């Protein structure tokens, strides 16, 4: 049963790959786990039985473009996100905007989840921080039989270059799982899943496939380039 519960939340968290409303909520972030340089926080959200979650880490020797290229490679979801069996761009608006469909295969008796998400990218011209916002939407495609379509899901990924040449990687999410799962059960699982998610993501981004990736809408920070070049 624990495996099933963890799989449910994992699938929801990676399904909709700046959730500024989370940061403006009344409660403060509470540290729930810290291990191997990764911190996981949760916080309650007014009017919702489900907590928001934030996972943070800092990475060395990985280019900003490598991180963006992996997240923008929606089909690669299967390579680093458990239970993701399909992720495709349903409609491309521009290099920085698209509608993405993702299907997560969850074990019986939990129904599969899927989502159609509006995804946008931006980079701050000052500090060169990159933000990927994703919000569940409707339209473009009919619901798929046997899958529960998420309609309330907001997620953000942030890649913040640091003066040291490292990059701070963070992921925030607030999701209504769209079922009768009690909020307290869902909230109980909002620790190990984000930890494993961000750990696997960083490991995948460090692979040769993304080492020299180029992304048209991203400016690589000089500090990151210098730090990587200085490595023996």
In angstroms, the CA 154 to CA 47 distance is: 15
| Bridge partner list, 57 | 38, 169
CATH number at residue 62: 3.30.530.20
Number of domains the chain contains: 1
* CA separation for the pair 54, 26 (Å, rounded): 16
* Residue 26 binned pLDDT confidence (cut-offs 50, 70, 90): low
| Of 23 and 68, the one with more pLDDT | 68
Identify the pLDDT of residue 230.
80
Nearest to 105 by CA among 1, 15, 194, 2: 15
Of the candidates 83, 64, 35, which has an alpha carbon nearest to the alpha carbon of residue 220? Answer: 64
> What is the four-CA torsion angle of 179, 185, 188, 190, rounded to 10 degrees?
-10
Write out the two tokens for 189: 């699982």
**pLDDT per residue as tens digits for the range 27-63:** 799 999 999 999 999 999 888 888 899 999 999 999 9
d(CA 104, CA 144): 12
pTM of the model: 0.86
Say yes or no to pLDDT of 17 above 80: no
What is the Cα–Cα distance from 191 to 65, expressed in whole angstroms? 28
Question: In angstroms, how far is the first alpha carbon of the chain from the final one?
Answer: 47
Query: Which residues are CB-neighbours of 211 under 8 A, at least 6 positions away?
Result: 63, 66
Which domain does 132 fall in, by range? 2-229
Q: In angstroms, rounded to a whole number, what is the distance separating the alpha carbons of residues 19 and 149?
A: 20
Mean pLDDT of the chain: 85
Compute the average pLDDT of residues 77-102. Answer: 91
Residue 124: other Cβ atoms inside 10 A: 12
Please count the other Cβ atoms lying within 10 Å of the Cβ belonging to residue 228: 15
Relative to beta strand 147-149, strand 112-123 is: parallel
- Residue 171's closest CA among 155, 185, 184? 155
Q: 114 pLDDT exceeds 50?
A: yes
pLDDT of 163 over the 70 cut: yes
């Amino acid at each position: 049963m624990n495996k099933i519960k963890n799989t449910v939340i994992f699938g929801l968290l990676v399904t909709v790959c700046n959730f500024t409303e989370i940061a403006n909520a009344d409660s403060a972030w509470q540290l729930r786990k810290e291990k191997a340089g990764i911190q996981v926080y949760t916080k309650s959200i007014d009017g919702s039985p489900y907590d928001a979650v934030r996972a943070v880490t800092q990475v060395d020797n990985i280019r900003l473009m490598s991180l963006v290229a992996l997240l923008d490679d929606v089909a690669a979801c299967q390579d680093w996100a458990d239970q993701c069996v399909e992720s495709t761009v349903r409609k491309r608006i521009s290099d920085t905007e698209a509608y993405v469909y993702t299907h997560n295969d969850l074990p019986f008796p939990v129904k599969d989840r899927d989502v159609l998400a509006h995804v946008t990218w931006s980079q701050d011209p000052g500090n060169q921080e990159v933000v990927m916002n994703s919000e569940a939407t409707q339209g473009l495609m009919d619901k798929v039989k046997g899958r529960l379509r998420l309609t309330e899901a907001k997620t953000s990924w942030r890649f913040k270059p640091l003066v040291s040449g490292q990059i701070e990687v963070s992921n925030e999410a607030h999701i209504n799982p769209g079922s009768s799962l009690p909020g307290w059960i869902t909230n109980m699982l909002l620790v190990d899943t984000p930890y494993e998610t961000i750990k696997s993501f960083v490991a995948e981004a460090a692979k040769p496939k993304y080492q020299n990736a180029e992304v048209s809408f991203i400016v690589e920070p000089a500090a990151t380039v210098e730090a990587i070049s200085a490595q023996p």
